[in-house]
Amino acid sequence: MDLIEIDNLFFRRGERVIFDGLSMRIPKGRITAIMGPSGTGKTTLLRIIGGQLKPDSGSVKVDGVDVCSLSRKGLFELRRRMGMLFQSSALFTDLSVFENVAFPLRLHTDIDDDVIRDLSLMKLNAVGLRGARDLMPSQLSGGMARRVALARAIALDPDLLMYDEPFTGQDPIAMGVVLSLIKSLNDALGTTSVLVSHDIHETISIADQIFVISDGQVIGSGTPAELQQHNSERIRQFMNGLPDGPVPFHYPADDLRFDLLGGDA
């Protein structure tokens, strides 16, 4: 069963077309990766799913609810069922680790402080940072900050977790921890995870399915194994990280001799 249904999505930024009839289905309880070259709108797609941006046309449904037609109140309620791990972690710098995790519980629920305390500590324990609860964000390493942000993202036990470049800037140990957490949390909570990343090796190790987008559309989808053997040279180039191919290494230009020697070339 699909949690997210995207149909014939069109979206522009000024004169630039970001999505040109994009459609995809994201199943419940699985880890789905959205990949593609830089500038293809992967993060923009997460923002549209979360209702932060509205498309020019097309529909986006989360669990049967049309995100684009929701009122402010309806959107607020839907977002209670979503968790978002931002690329920058986006922790509140003036709040402690504990208060960062407790924040969505205080904002979206009216449960007692004792329950908020217990839930926040449980989420921090899940990411291995219960002992860091009194630290401030400025005292955290990049990997620790990402894990605190993940604890905050799962504070409300969301149905949908969205990850925007979760491996960027992580050392190998921190990256391994984040990979393990994404997989284990998805399995333990039965959450639907949508992951945007450029890190092919790490992503294919945990993703159940991958969508590759380019030029405003889905150009390929399937399991990691299926995409690595895809009959499209363009997809194989991306999946294997080849520097040249259908997407050329050189930006279009005149012959180098004309630039170096002028009209005598």
Residue 150 lies in a domain: no
**Residue at 6 is within a domain:** yes
The pLDDT, as a whole number, for residue 245 is 53
Residue 132 lies in a domain: no
Instruction: Answer whether residue 55 shows pLDDT above 60.
Output: yes
* Nearest-10 Cα torsion for 45, 50, 158, 220: -20
Kindly report the CATH number assigned to the domain that includes residue 13: 3.40.50.300
CB atoms within 10 A of CB 159: 19
Instruction: Render pLDDT for 19-31 as a digit per residue (tens, 0 to 9).
Output: 999 999 999 999 9
- Structural contact between residues 222 and 27, judged by C-beta atoms closer than 8 angstroms: no
> pTM score, two decimals?
0.83
Answer yes or no: is 88 within a domain.
no
Element (H, E) at 45: helix 42-49
| Cβ count near 102 (within 10 Å) | 23
pLDDT digits (tens, 9 = 90+) for 207-257: 999 999 988 899 889 998 888 787 777 777 777 765 555 555 445 567 777
- Does residue 45 lie in a domain region? yes
Number of domains observed in the structure of the chain = 1
Question: What's the mean pLDDT when you consider all of the chain?
Answer: 87
Residues 150/123, Cβ–Cβ less than 8 Å: no
- Report which secondary-structure segment, H or E, holds 233: helix 233-240
Lowest-confidence pick of 102-106, 146-150, 187-191: 187-191
**Does residue 109 belong to any structural domain of this protein?**
no
* Cα Rg of the chain (Å, integer): 21
Distance CA 162, CA 100 (A): 18
Q: How confident is the model at residue 180 (pLDDT cuts 50, 70, 90)?
A: confident
Host domain of residue 166: 2-81+158-264
